[in-house]
Amino acid sequence: MYGFNVTLKTSMADAEAKVREALMAEGFGVLTEIDVQKVMKAKLDVDRSGYKILGACNPNLAHQAIEAEPDIGLLLPCNVLLREESNGDITVGFMDPVAVLGMIDNPAIAEVAPIVRGKLQQVANSL
């Protein structure tokens, strides 16, 4: 598995606000935001349900990772997906840093990855 998720029975806007707040509580900021729903409409004239990708970053842990492995930026930030389901529920998916960063053969990265996963799991648990 390369991720884990939770389901929220709320609106996309409310789910996003809760996710951002929970990320902040665990020391993450959102560096990037991709509103796939809007992009698909604008570029392909395709209507789809809500689908947003947030690029989350914990600066202290990112700094540790970059110091240990300068090319780690190819695998950063940690993506958090908000996806509207057909029944109106919102699935919030989290990239599993242990799975993704496990591609790197570096003991320092192997130490950081479970810390990041733990923080993201705390975010998921708080939702």
**Alpha carbon 88 to chain centroid, angstroms:** 21
User: What's the rounded mean pLDDT across residues 104-126?
Assistant: 96
pLDDT digits (tens, 9 = 90+) for 53-69: 999 999 999 999 999 99
CATH of the domain at 80: 3.30.310.70
By residue range, what is the domain housing residue 26?
Answer: 3-126
CA 18, CA 1: separation in Å to the nearest integer? Answer: 25
Contact 102, 75 (CB under 8 A): no
Characterize 93-112 residue by residue with b for buried, 16 or more Cβ atoms within 10 angstroms of its Cβ, and e for exposed.
Answer: bbbbbbebbeebeeeebeeb
- Structure tokens belonging to residue 127: 């939702």
Using only C-alpha atoms, what is the Rg of the chain? 15
Q: What is the pTM of this model?
A: 0.94
Give the chain's domain count. 1
pLDDT attached to residue 50: 97
Strand 78-84 relative to strand 51-57, pairing: antiparallel
pLDDT digits (tens, 9 = 90+) for 15-53: 999 999 999 999 999 999 999 999 999 999 999 999 999
